[in-house]
Amino acid sequence: MTPRFLRLAALLLALAWGFAPHPALSAKDELVIGMTQYPATLHPNIESMLAKTLVVSATRRPFTAYDANWQLGCMLCTNLPTIENGLAKLEDMPSGKKGIAVTYTIQPGATWGDGTPVSTRDVMFTWEVGRHPQSGVAAAEFYRRAYKLDVKDARTFTLHFDKVTYEYSAINDFQVLPAHIEAVHFAEPMEYRNRTRFDADPTNPGLYFGPYRIVEAKPGSHIALEPNPTWYGEKPKFKRIVFRAVENTAALEANLLSGAIDYIAGELGLTLDQGIAFEKRHADKFQVIFKPGLIYEHIDLNLDNPVLKNLRLRRALLMALDRQAISEKLFGGKQPVAITSVSPLDWVYDADLRPVPFDPKAAGQIFDEEGWRIGPGGIRQNAAGEKLSLEFMTTAGNRSRETVQQVLQAQWRQVGVDIRIRNEPARVFFGETVTKRRFSAMAMFAWVSSPENLPRSTLHSQEIPTAQNNYAGQNYTGYRNDQMDELIEAIEVELDRDKRGLLWRRLQALYLADLPVLPLYFRADVFVMPKWLKGVTPTGHQNVSTLWIEYWHAE
Stretch of 72-80, 250-258, 304-312, 503-511 contacting another protein, by CB under 8 A: 250-258
Q: Which of 299, 434, 488, 529 binds another protein (CB under 8 A)?
A: 434
d(CA 388, CA 307): 8
Cβ distance 360 to 414 under 8 Å? yes
**Site membership for another protein, residue 440 (CB under 8 A):** no
Q: Is the CB of 1 or the CB of 138 nearer to another protein?
A: 138
CA 356 to chain centre: 27
Cβ distance 487 to 510 under 8 Å? yes
Q: Is the CB of 154 or the CB of 190 nearer to another protein?
A: 190
Q: Look at residues 267, 228, 271, 263 and name the one whose alpha carbon lies nearest to residue 242.
A: 263
Q: Is the CB of 60 or the CB of 460 nearer to another protein?
A: 460
Q: Is the CB of 6 or the CB of 190 nearer to another protein?
A: 190
d(CA 228, CA 113): 6
d(CA 409, CA 404): 9
Q: Pick out residues in 180-219 that bind another protein (CB under 8 A).
A: 190, 193-194, 196, 199-200, 216, 218-219
**Site membership for another protein, residue 90 (CB under 8 A):** no
Amino acid at 432: E
d(CA 100, CA 83): 10
Q: Which of 3, 18, 376, 385 binds another protein (CB under 8 A)?
A: 18
Q: How crowded is residue 371: how many other Cβ atoms within 10 Å of its Cβ?
A: 14
d(CA 408, CA 360): 13
Q: Pick out residues in 40-69 that bind another protein (CB under 8 A).
A: 40-41, 43, 46-49
Q: Which of 20, 351, 383, 384 binds another protein (CB under 8 A)?
A: 20
Which contacts qualify for 420-424: CB closer than 8 Å, 24 or more apart?
420/389, 420/390, 420/391, 420/392, 421/392, 421/393, 422/391, 422/392, 422/393, 423/393, 423/394, 423/395, 423/396, 424/393, 424/395, 424/396
Q: Is the CB of 70 or the CB of 243 nearer to another protein?
A: 243
Q: How far is the CB of 317 from another protein (least distance, A)?
A: 25
Q: Are strands 442-448 and 389-393 parallel, antiparallel or unpaired?
A: parallel
d(CA 26, CA 18): 18
Q: How far is the CB of 106 from another protein (least distance, A)?
A: 24
Q: Is the CB of 193 or the CB of 334 nearer to another protein?
A: 193
Q: How far is the CB of 221 from another protein (least distance, A)?
A: 4
Stretch of 93-101, 387-395, 434-442, 499-507 contacting another protein, by CB under 8 A: 434-442
Q: Pick out residues in 487-506 that bind another protein (CB under 8 A).
A: none
Stretch of 114-122, 329-337, 379-387, 431-439 contacting another protein, by CB under 8 A: 431-439
Q: Pick out residues in 143-182 that bind another protein (CB under 8 A).
A: 144, 173
Q: Is the CB of 48 or the CB of 71 nearer to another protein?
A: 48
Q: Is 245 helix (H, G, I), strand (E, B) or coil?
A: strand
Q: Is the CB of 347 or the CB of 471 nearer to another protein?
A: 471
Which phi-psi region, left, alpha or beta, contains residue 24 (left: φ > 0; alpha: ψ -120 to 50)?
beta
**Site membership for another protein, residue 140 (CB under 8 A):** yes
d(CA 409, CA 299): 13
**Site membership for another protein, residue 248 (CB under 8 A):** yes
**Site membership for another protein, residue 15 (CB under 8 A):** yes
Cβ distance 217 to 203 under 8 Å? yes
d(CA 233, CA 533): 20
Q: How far is the CB of 19 from another protein (least distance, A)?
A: 3
Cβ distance 529 to 289 under 8 Å? yes
Stretch of 9-17, 65-73, 340-348, 480-488 contacting another protein, by CB under 8 A: 9-17
Q: How many residues bind another protein (CB under 8 A)?
A: 76
Q: Is the CB of 379 or the CB of 428 nearer to another protein?
A: 428
CA 237 to chain centre: 27
Cβ distance 242 to 33 under 8 Å? yes
Q: Pick out residues in 448-477 that bind another protein (CB under 8 A).
A: 449, 457-458, 465, 469-474
Q: Pick out residues in 97-136 that bind another protein (CB under 8 A).
A: 133-134, 136
**Site membership for another protein, residue 255 (CB under 8 A):** yes
Q: Look at residues 523, 91, 448, 106 and name the one whose alpha carbon lies nearest to residue 276.
A: 523
**Site membership for another protein, residue 284 (CB under 8 A):** no
Q: How far is the CB of 33 from another protein (least distance, A)?
A: 11
Stretch of 36-44, 337-345, 411-419, 480-488 contacting another protein, by CB under 8 A: 36-44
Q: Which of 101, 345, 407, 428 binds another protein (CB under 8 A)?
A: 428
Q: How far is the CB of 275 from another protein (least distance, A)?
A: 18
